[in-house]
Amino acid sequence: MRELLKAYPVIVVQAVAWGEMDAFHHVNNVAYFRYLENARLAYFGELGWGSRTLPDGVGPILRDTKARFRLPLTYPDTIAIGARIVEVQADRIVMVHAIASEAFGKIVTEGESVIVTYDYGRGEKAPVPGELREKIRAIEARVGNVPGEPAGAGPP
């Protein structure tokens, strides 16, 4: 599975749980968003970014997320969820995901999340901190990625 996710610097491996199945005998779509969240939070953990920046610091807030389902997961299976940041904008980052199934030996789901940097003390969007940009570059460089950065999106 890791070979399928070689472009993803952060990978979470977990079992599919029986309770994630629905009446149609496959994993319910809600569970996939939890899988993506698990990988997103693991990436944030590597950045040292998240709940400890709250309640008054700059932290992440999910703007939107989506998933494209290619094959239905079922129990039992083991999955690997990859996360990588492909774009850093002035006040947000774009993260893409892939879920690989051990049973299928393929990518079964692709996803995307847009995360806004949010100043929880002021209650508004904030610029992506320069230190965070550097950490993202370092994490992505582990697998040879360079996250795209539109012109003028650098530190203020």
92-96 long-range contacts, Cβ below 8 Å, gap at least 24?
92/63, 92/116, 92/117, 92/125, 92/128, 93/117, 93/128, 93/136, 93/147, 95/40, 95/43
Q: What's the pLDDT at 153?
A: 40
Q: What's the pLDDT at 56?
A: 65
Q: What's the pLDDT at 46?
A: 93
Helix (H, G, I), strand (E, B) or coil at 146: coil
pTM of the model: 0.90
Q: What's the pLDDT at 50?
A: 67
Domain 3-141 top-level CATH class: alpha beta
Cβ count within 10 A of residue 62? 13
Cβ count within 10 A of residue 50? 14
Write the Ramachandran bin of 40: left for phi over 0, alpha for psi from -120 to 50, otherwise beta.
alpha
Per-residue pLDDT of the chain (156 residues; tens, 9 = 90+): 889 999 999 999 999 999 999 999 999 999 999 999 999 999 999 998 866 655 568 889 999 999 999 999 999 999 999 999 999 999 999 999 999 999 999 999 999 999 999 998 889 999 999 999 999 999 999 999 987 654 434 433
Residues 55, 48: Cα–Cα separation, whole Å: 15
